[in-house]
Amino acid sequence: MATRCWAEAPAFAGARAYLAAFLLAFALCLPAAAQQSLPPAPYAYRQLEDPRQEAAAQALMETLRCLKCQSQSIADSDAPMAGDMRHQVRTRIAAGEEPEAIRAWLVQRYGDYVSYAPAVSETTWPLFAVPALLVLAVLLALWRRLRLRRRA
């Protein structure tokens, strides 16, 4: 179902438009689905009482991907699923769980895709190796260009 809705999203759009269009197309495709008629989970649109806990929850939510959107975190989305995930994050933070433990739980549940902070692993090591190489390349380039000049 979701795929068909994808195809209906407009071919041209700016960054956010893509995502929002998709979202809305998605919402459109599921008017009769049960989850649409349910009210959002309590903590989807409600902050935690403790400002420090809320800040921790917010920081975590900003690094979790809304799986039904394109390139948006769950902190930036009206999608029902993002609301549910915000609820999960807030209630777990309120229960005293560590943010990284919640991230691990979500990754276990939805896969690496859900986390915007890639961890070093078999599939992601180039993401970290390349910047390290870039640092070396920068130093080398500067050394070559600037050292040679000084001698000249």
Partner 1 sequence: MIAELGLAALWLAAALAALQLVAGFLGARNPDTEMAALVRPAAVVQGLLCAFAFVMLLWLFAVTDLSVKLVATNSHSAKPPIFKLSGAWGNHEGSMLLWITVMALAGGLIAAVERRLPEKTMQATLGAQAFVGLGFYAFLLFSSNPFERLPQPAVEGLGLNPLLQDIGLAFHPPTLYFGYVGLSVAFSFAVGALLTRQVTPEFARAMRPWVLGAWVFLTLGITAGSYWAYYELGWGGWWFWDPVENASLMPWLAATALLHSASVLAARDALRAWTIMLGVVAFSMSMVGTFLVRSGILTSVHAFAVDPERGSFILVLLAIYIGGALVLFATRASSIAEGERFAATSREGALVVNNVMLCAILGVVLMGTLYPLLTEAFDVRVSVGPPYFNPVSAIFVVPMLLVMMVGPLLRWRRDRLERVKAPVALVAAILLGTLAVLLIVSTTGLLPLLGLVLAAALAVASFLPLRGRNLRRLPLAVWGMVIAHFGLAVALFGMASESAFSQEKLAAVAAGDTAEVGPWSVVLDGVHPVAGPNWTALEGQLLASYDGGDPIELDPQARSFWAPVQQTTESALATRWNGQLYAVIGNEAGAGENGARWQLRLWWKPFVTFIWYGGLLVALGGVLALLGRLFDDLKRRRVKARLAERRADEAELAAAGGRG
User: Given the rule CB under 8 A, which residues bind partner 1?
Assistant: 6, 9-21, 24, 27-28, 39-40, 45-47, 58, 62-63, 65, 70-73, 75-78, 111-118, 123-124, 126-127, 130-131, 134-135, 137-138, 141-142, 145-147, 149-150, 152
Q: Report, in Å, the least distance between residue 142 CB and partner 1.
A: 6
Q: Report, in Å, the least distance between residue 96 CB and partner 1.
A: 21
Measured CA to CA, the distance from residue 65 to residue 75 in angstroms comes to 9
Helix (H, G, I), strand (E, B) or coil at 150: helix
Q: Report, in Å, the least distance between residue 75 CB and partner 1.
A: 7
- CA 108 to each of CA 14, 17, 61, 81, 104: distance values in angstroms, whole numbers, following the listed order: 32, 30, 16, 17, 6
Q: DSSP labels for 62-92? A: TTBB-TTSSS-BGGG---HHHHHHHHHHHHH
Of 61 and 92, nearer to partner 1 (C-beta) is: 61
